[in-house]
Amino acid sequence: MSGTTSKSAKSIEKVYDFVVKYIHENAMSPSVRDICAGSGLKSTSSVHAYLKKLDEMGRIEYRPGLRRAIILKNQDQDTDEDRTEDINTDIIKLPCIGKITAGVPILAHETYSDDFFYINRSMIDGALNEDEAFVLKVKGDSMIDAGILDGDYLIVRKQSFCEDRDIIAALIEDEATVKRYGKLNGKPYLFPENEAYAPIPFFGENCRILGKVVGLHRYKIS
């Protein structure tokens, strides 16, 4: 293929890929024999040798003697460099706000941002910078008619204003919600996109716009 490395390079990658896949699928390490079955290798000793190599390479951590004890290591050096070269220009990292703590202006500073989302900046209409947006997880079905389902992740551009018919993230009485903004008899309301819910008055002191929804990610298809 790419030079002197032939079969072996292929096998070791197969082993590694399978280990990664298995751990992601099963939430636990495969056994050597599992890897045999998954990688096409027929001898446990071959797999064993590759695991040792992968451990030496630092790609996995491998505890001798223990059963199902392979741990994936962070590929921080190699892969990240490769990635960020391509990515940096076009990928931005957004904090995922899991919980909206009551009353606190969480959005000014990322008070809670262990979780991050990576998105393609250029996909977003009027591209974003990292500190101009955040991600919010949807709870409930009040927006299903807009194609926004329970469990979806919304990319929200921080802004304190919006236009008519925009879908926005807002704070009402310290509770975060996602709805469509609009007016009724001249007064602002938030409209669910689900017949089962009624419009919510959106005026007064405790109403605040967090931002406009500009993107959506979904990873639970059902």
- How many of the chain's residues bind DNA (CB under 7 A)? 30
Assess contact for 108 and 131: CB atoms under 8 A: no
**Considering only residues 117, 189, 197, 207, which one is a binding residue for a copy of itself as defined by CB under 8 A?**
117
User: Total number of residues binding a copy of itself (CB under 8 A)?
Assistant: 65
- CA separation for the pair 201, 56 (Å, rounded): 62
Give CA–CA dist 103/108, Å, rounded.
12
Using an 8 Å Cβ cutoff, are 129 and 159 in contact?
A: no
**Cβ pair 144, 193 in contact under 8 A:** yes
Q: Beta-carbon neighbour count of residue 144 at 10 Å?
A: 16
For 58, phi then psi, to 5°, come to: 85, 10
70 in Cβ contact with 30 (< 8 Å): yes
68 binds a copy of itself, rule: CB under 8 A: yes
Smallest gap from residue 216 Cβ to DNA (A): 36
Q: Please select the residue that binds DNA; options are 2, 3, 25, 67, rule is CB under 7 A.
A: 67
Q: What are phi and psi of 34, to 5 degrees?
A: -60, -45
Active-site pick, 29, 39, 179, 212:
179
x/- contact string, 68-107, with DNA (CB under 7 A)? xx--------------------------------------
- Contacts with DNA, 31-50, as mask; x by CB under 7 A: xxxx-----xxxxxxx-xxx
Among residues 2, 7, 114, 186, the one that binds a copy of itself under rule CB under 8 A: 114
Of the ranges 7-15, 92-100, 106-114, 120-128, which one interacts with DNA (CB under 7 A)? 7-15
Q: Is residue 86 part of the contact set for a copy of itself (CB under 8 A)?
A: yes
Catalytic member of 2, 11, 14, 142: 142
147 is an interface residue for a copy of itself by CB under 8 A? yes
Q: Is 46 a catalytic residue?
A: no
Residue type, 66: L
Lookup: tokens for 12: 């070791």
Tokens representing 133?
């947006």
Nearer to a copy of itself, 27 or 196 (CB): 27
Q: Which residues are catalytic?
A: 142, 179
